[in-house]
Amino acid sequence: MPDVHHELVFFSGHVQGVGFRYSTMQVAKEFEVSGYVKNLADGRVQLEVEGAAKEVEDFLSALDERMHGYIRKTERVAGRRAPEFVGFTIK
């Protein structure tokens, strides 16, 4: 199977206890992406997502638009690799 676009994203701000993970999963259903979202002990949310580069970018833009008031900082690390995920989950 060919490599896919992959991003590891960390969100900071008021991102826990506000339905961020659930909203992320709902937005993911609108795009051809797979991966997971989870809370971190330091108060950030970690998102790992893969798919076609445009789908991942459009998904992240839609998520930013939906959760704009809660996100203070977004850190993204992008690359290409073999696909690892099937579907999108909350961890």
**Known catalytic membership, residue 44:** no
**Known catalytic membership, residue 80:** no
H-run or E-run covering 22 = helix 20-28
Question: What is the distance between the alpha carbons of residues 42 and 5, in angstroms, rounded to a whole number?
Answer: 27
Select which of 21, 66, 76, 80 is catalytic: 21
Closest residue by Cα to residue 66 from 82, 47, 80, 43: 47
Residue 36 near residue 88, CB atoms below 8 Å: yes
What is the number of residues in the chain?
Answer: 91
List active site positions: 21, 39
